A = this chain, B = another copy of it.
Amino acid sequence: MPDFIFNSKIYYNPVEFAMDRIGGTWKMPILWRLKDKVLRYGEMKKDIPHITHKMLTSQLRELEAEGFVTREVFPVVPPKVEYTITDRGRKAITIIDTIRNYGLDLMKEFGVGAENTDKK
């Protein structure tokens, strides 16, 4: 079986590789927001509940470094920075949508809903 190395990290299968690119707590929520619109940093910050300043910045940096989003800085005062999804990012949206729908199915099966705040 095909172990392989990317950026000094060893992977055991393609799923791991994919999840290292678009997984984690915040990358999918971020890409999801950008799927049909350009957003400024502050707009995303307001739009994504619970995300911290540090995580939003670091995750955007990684997504940019790996070509899922582009970052454009406008030299104005106060600063303005816009983030746009790329073609590669758009391909990810397809997968995110699949996983998201699967998650919704599972939630139904497990009897959890958005209104259900009961611990179980």
The smallest beta-carbon distance between A52 and chain B, in angstroms, is 13
Instruction: Please name all residues of chain B whose beta carbon is closer than 8 Å to the beta carbon of A116 when the two chains form the complex.
Output: 1-2, 4-5
Interface string of A1-34 (1 = CB under 8 A from B): 1111111100011111111010101001100000
A112 to chain B: closest residue by CB: B6
A63-113 residues at the B interface, CB under 8 angstroms:
66, 88, 91-92, 94-96, 98-107, 109-110, 112-113
Q: How far is the CA of A5 from the CA of B119 in the complex (A)?
A: 6
Interface pair B3/A49, CB less than 8 Å apart: yes
Interface pair B118/A13, CB less than 8 Å apart: yes
A36 CB within 8 Å of chain B:
no
Interface pair B12/A29, CB less than 8 Å apart: yes
